[in-house]
Amino acid sequence: MKPEQDILKVIAAASDPVKIRTGRLRQNVELNNHPELMTIILHEGMIAIYRSKDHLLMRYSQGPMILGMNDLININENMYIKSLGDIRYEIIPMAQFNEIIDRENLWKEVAHILMYGIKRLVQAHQTTAGLTTYELIKNNLFNLMQESNEIRLNISASDYIREKTHLSRSRVMKILGELKIGGYIEIKRGTLMKVNKLPQEF
């Protein structure tokens, strides 16, 4: 479960209202022009986080959320972020962010947020590594159903799966079409509405 109260508590301490920016649909949140590691506070809206080297979709994130709180993953260089609609966000040097957390004794709250982020990354790895095409599609159908309604209802099932797997459009559409015909899933105008019991193999 997303530790929203911890996130809001940290944001209240670290945010500077003067530095809040806005973004619109499909706008990139630029980070690679910063020489130092940065932390992002997403106040409102939804973003997609991609791996820079191959543009693979890593995850969606919905505000309130904080990204880039440790130097294990350099989001400045290894990731890029694209808005999925109107967003409000802040970019803060990680060193400055950590000073605030230290001063306000908020490491417990930060630990909860980091554990949530790690859990999401582990889940993503478990549902993508060393799997067949059908297993990738099946797992991502379940993942899509677990996304918030704001995400699930605003992205087609096909786009979601292809961005997270790099599978061909024709292959994804063929399998989704046959699953729909078989009554295993319910899709309306490309939007995934329901996943029933999926076959073990395809």
In a domain, 8, yes or no: yes
Q: Is pLDDT of 202 > 90? A: no
Are the C-beta atoms of 38 and 89 separated by less than 8 Å? Answer: no
**Same-domain pairing of 95 and 183:** no
* pLDDT value of position 68: 86
Kindly state whether residue 200 falls inside one of the protein's structural domains.
Answer: no
Q: Which of 101, 83, 104 is nearest to 23 (CA)?
A: 83
- Output the pLDDT for position 14: 96
Judged against a pLDDT cut of 60, whether residue 65 lies above it is answered with yes
Residues 24, 97 share a domain:
yes
Q: Which residues pair with 41 in a beta bridge?
A: 66, 90
The predicted structure's pLDDT at residue 128: 61
Q: Which residues contact 160 (CB under 8 A, 6 or more apart)?
A: 57, 140, 144, 192
Q: How confident is the model at residue 39 (pLDDT cuts 50, 70, 90)?
A: very high
Lowest mean pLDDT across 108-112, 129-133, 156-160, 181-185: 129-133
Residue-level pLDDT at 78: 74
Contact indicator for 19, 90 with CB cutoff of 8 Å:
yes
Do 69 and 143 belong to one domain?
A: no
Does residue 173 share a domain with residue 96? no
Rounded CA separation 176/28 (Å): 30
| Same domain (yes/no): 75, 152 | no
Q: Which residue has the higher pLDDT, 128 or 7?
A: 7
State how far Cα 176 lies from the chain centre. 23
In the structure, what pLDDT confidence band is assigned to residue 30 with cuts at 50, 70 and 90?
A: confident
Establish if 30 belongs to a structural domain: yes
Can you give the pTM of this predicted structure?
0.78
The arithmetic mean of pLDDT across residues 18-46, rounded, is: 88
Is the pLDDT reported for residue 69 higher than 90? no
The closest of 64, 61, 66, 25 to 44, measured between CA atoms, is 64
CA–CA distance, 158 with 173 (Å, rounded to integer): 7
Number of folded domains that form the chain: 2
Q: Residue 143: which CATH number?
A: 1.10.10
Domain span at 186:
133-195
* Strand pairing report for 87-93 and 191-195: unpaired
* Whether residue 152 has pLDDT greater than 80: yes
Q: Torsion-angle region of residue 130: left (phi > 0), alpha (psi -120 to 50) or beta?
A: left
| Beta strands at 79-83 and 28-29: parallel, antiparallel or unpaired | antiparallel
| Backbone φ and ψ of 89, nearest 5° | -150, 165
> Same structural domain for residues 85 and 8?
yes
Provide the pLDDT for residue 96.
94
Residue 113: inside a domain, yes or no?
no
- Residues 82-132: tens digit of each pLDDT: 998 899 999 999 999 999 999 999 999 999 999 988 887 777 666 666 678
